[in-house]
Amino acid sequence: MPGQSRAVFFDIGNVLASPVLASDHITLVGLSVYPFVPEVLEAVRTQQARLGIISNTASSDTTETMKAVLDQAGLLRFFDVKLLLFSSVEGIDKTKVELFQRAAARAELPPRHCVFVGEDAKERDVARRALFKVSFHPLHVFQVLKEML
């Protein structure tokens, strides 16, 4: 697939990082990024894939607050801001096929050219129903991308 004809959407929690919550145990104040993640994200970008996020977020999280948290963690630079989908902003979560369909539409790609990377099997099943390819771990995504060629 020449050019930017694929998009890889990552979940955040337990995939790219562990959430750092405020004392209320709800408000996201930071991310503890897993050591391998920046290198993996850079490598995925070199595979001619645009990077996005599909993540369930607390009702109070806005696009601006999520971008600030991602930037503070050093991750925002890897992602196409057009491809950041947060449940609190979109009004639907990863239990809905529509969220994945919306992600593919924003990427201007057919769903079969999109990958969802998430640790939750139920969420991956929803992504599959939306015709996405799926990966259970950021390191596994390279195998999925290879199979898409």
Q: What is the model's pTM?
A: 0.95
Chain-centroid distance, C-alpha 103: 10
From the DSSP assignment, how many helices (H) and strands (E) are in the chain? 6, 7
SS3 (DSSP) at 69: helix
Domain count, the chain: 1
Rg (CA), the chain: 14
The answer to the question of residue 66 being in a domain is yes
Q: What is the CATH number of the domain that holds 133?
A: 3.40.50.1000
Contact 65, 44 (CB under 8 A): no
pLDDT per residue over 73-120, tens digit each?
A: 999 999 999 999 999 999 999 999 999 999 999 999 999 999 999 999
The answer to the question of residue 1 being in a domain is no
Select from 23, 4, 21 the least CA-distant residue to 12. 21
pLDDT per residue over 17-74, tens digit each?
A: 999 999 998 889 999 999 999 999 999 999 889 999 999 999 999 999 999 999 999 9
